[in-house]
Structure 1
Amino acid sequence: MDKILGLGNALIDVLATLKDDTLLDELGLPKGSMQLIDDAKLQQINEHFSQMETHMATGGAAANTIKALASLGASTGFIGKVGNDRYGDFFRESLLENDIEEKLLTSADLPSGVASTFISPDGERTFGTYLGAASSLRAEDLALDMFKGYAYLLIEGYLVQDHDMILHAIELAKEAGLQVCLDMASYNIVEGDLEFFSLLINKYVDIVFANEEEARAFTGKTDPEEALEIIAKRCSIAIVKVGGNGSYIRKGTEEIKVDAIPVNTVLDTTGAGDYFAAGFLYGLTCGYSLEKCAKIGSILSGNVIQVVGTTVSKECWDEIKLNINEILSE
């Protein structure tokens, strides 16, 4: 089985479930977005969190995908940067516990990054992200040996603020023979750096994951199939996820639509896209058809939205694996 390497912001997710969206307005966080925040905003959020029930887990889009892949038995690794603190230790230990090759760098000056995650009553999630040490990952931190032995590099769109680092990572990945996968991450990130996203996808990226809003932000098309066609002309495989309506996948002239799995209650959409990417990439590393890859992605995303956060129980993973086997036997 091919090995998959993730490159992303090493974050700790601190999650809180909201009774309504009033707090989002008070904090100036647009619902469903990811906003980068400073120390002052983090302290403001922490004051609210101190009066709420919260849950802590490892986070970051690429890390979520890599962790889910590892839970399926895939061989994985992760590159990121943490602080020399308890959050950094928590993140490192989580990788090791899941048999993920940790390639974490440590900042001597900055604390580990924290993603304050607000879960609305309808399951939509909103992030106020303090990047901390995660944002200090630089091009010079990366070396060719980190990429050797892997078949795929997954990059999260949240990293695009450092163009030099992303381009150097891709350069090293290509030199080591890896295919590059990009998860667009968030519609406002795409809107804010559209020219650079265009450069990456036109010249370097092999596989693109986008949800409906990200695809619209990138192409200007409101119809997901139209957006899919535009993206697919620029890369090898394009995926546009449309939430409860499933996903569209296109490779060359081949296009398929896969339904989402039925879900009774959506508790939290955090990690839905990350888990879809994990299922899809798992299928690719096993050599399955695009349809089966997308169906596995749907199984994973459909399960993670039924829990708060991105930590799925062992019992749930056992059920996921049974469902995957059923698909493979069709």
Structure 2
Amino acid sequence: MENAQKTIVGIGNALVDVLVQLKDDHLLEQFGLPKGSMTLVDADTSQKILSATAGLESARETGGSAANTVRGIAQLGAKTAFIGKINADEMGHFFRKSFEDLQIKPHLLTGNIPSGVAATLISPDSERTFGTYLGAASEMVASELSDELFAPYDYLHIEGYLVFNHELIEGILKIAKKNGLIISLDMASFNVVEANLDFLKRLVNDYVDIVFANEEEAKAFTGKEPEEALLEIAEQCSVAVVKIGKEGSLIKAGGQQVRVAATTVNVVDTTGAGDVYASGFLYGLANGFSLANCGKLGGMLAAEVIQVVGAKIPDQAWPKLLAAVEEMKA
């Protein structure tokens, strides 16, 4: 791999996560949200949830799987951009400013309905439940995207959640492939894979260079356990990554295969672990790191994010991470 600074653009649902610390679980029952689940809700329900939790301790941060990955890559010091859709409302302005503050180039289209919001309801036992309103993010269509958006970049990272809109995701992949980008796909969720299996297999085979899957997603995609799943996925793309939680990750590219151990930490909340693993891995790949160091850096970022609530690595963790990056470059 040549050692040159490559640029990475992400595309996905532009959301704002509103993280709320619940005192008990009665609000989950009130809104019919199964504890621990991600439930898509309409604008009215989203507003009612936010109103009902207004008096509780809460915080806001940018969300969406690919957006989380791009944020991590930017914090590692790479040149990044993000393509998504927001409304010109308060949540949309918050999303745009957060990305601009991190030097992420925001290619943000403007929708007609409110910006997407994920109410992240955290129970006293640390279990999290999502009531997600996609909002303007759901209005993105392939015809709004152009060669000019993709051509300046070397890599495209796309979240599997977009696979529900077949026309959109294939349209994106066609433009990216036409413009010579290396395409990275995070499979997002085992139920996403199950619901779109044949279509997703064709996409991976025809367009995708790098696949990220956790153990459940890999099994949904191949019907196999991690080691065998890795081999099958690697036959369809250039780089296959299967994350196996506290067991670390398995990586295969061509004839090279590595297993990377995970760091043992106190788990508070697993939100964003897969997203920031992809941040570290793609940053490493773009900077010519060995496969083992790509996986190691991904694992280090994931270990930091699972020790806190939400999908954002705390500021105080970055000096240690950036020092580790410099050692890998040496």
TM-score interval for Structure 1 and Structure 2 normalised by the shorter chain: over 0.9
- In structure 2, which of residues 4, 16, 24 is the aligned counterpart of residue 12 of structure 1? 16
2:326 corresponding residue in structure 1: 325
Q: Is the 8 A contact 2:273 2:302 kept in 1?
A: yes
2:122 corresponding residue in structure 1: 119
Q: Is the 8 A contact 2:162 2:169 kept in 1?
A: yes
Q: Is the 8 A contact 1:300 1:320 kept in 2?
A: yes
Hey, what's the Cα distance between the residues in 2 that align with 1:31 and 1:255? 38
Which has the higher mean CA deviation after the structures are superposed, 252-261 or 13-22? 13-22
1:248 corresponding residue in structure 2: 250
Give the letter aligned to residue 239 of structure 2.
I
Indicate the RMSD between aligned Cα atoms, in angstroms.
2.0
TM-aligned CA deviation for residue 17 of structure 1: 3.6
Q: Is the 8 A contact 2:301 2:313 kept in 1?
A: no
| Structure 1 counterpart SS, 2:296 | helix
TM-aligned CA deviation for residue 127 of structure 1: 2.4
Equivalent residues in 2 for 1:294-309 (5 A)? 294-309=295-310
Which has the higher mean CA deviation after the structures are superposed, 244-253 or 116-125? 116-125
| Structure 2 counterpart SS, 1:209 | strand
1:189 corresponding residue in structure 2: 192
| Structure 1 counterpart SS, 2:164 | coil
So what's the TM-score if we normalise by structure 2?
0.92
Give the letter aligned to residue 237 of structure 1.
V
2:91 corresponding residue in structure 1: 87
2:173 corresponding residue in structure 1: 170
TM-aligned CA deviation for residue 198 of structure 1: 1.3
- In structure 1, which of residues 221, 237, 240 is the aligned counterpart of residue 239 of structure 2? 237
| Structure 1 counterpart SS, 2:267 | coil
Hey, what's the Cα distance between the residues in 2 that align with 1:192 and 1:22? 31
So what's the TM-score if we normalise by structure 1?
0.92
| Structure 2 counterpart SS, 1:301 | helix
Identity of aligned residues (%): 53
Tell me whether 1:96 sits opposite 2:100 in the alignment: yes
TM-aligned CA deviation for residue 121 of structure 1: 5.7
C-alpha distance 149-156 of structure 1, shift in aligned 2 (>3 A): same
Q: Is the 8 A contact 1:18 1:121 kept in 2?
A: yes
| Structure 2 counterpart SS, 1:160 | helix
Hey, what's the Cα distance between the residues in 2 that align with 1:257 and 1:21? 39
Give the letter aligned to residue 291 of structure 1.
A
Hey, what's the Cα distance between the residues in 2 that align with 1:232 and 1:226? 10
The count of corresponding residues between Structure 1 and Structure 2 is: 326
* Structure 1 residues not aligned, in runs of 5+: none
1:275 corresponding residue in structure 2: 276
C-alpha distance 289-121 of structure 1, shift in aligned 2 (>3 A): farther
Q: Is the 8 A contact 2:43 2:135 kept in 1?
A: no
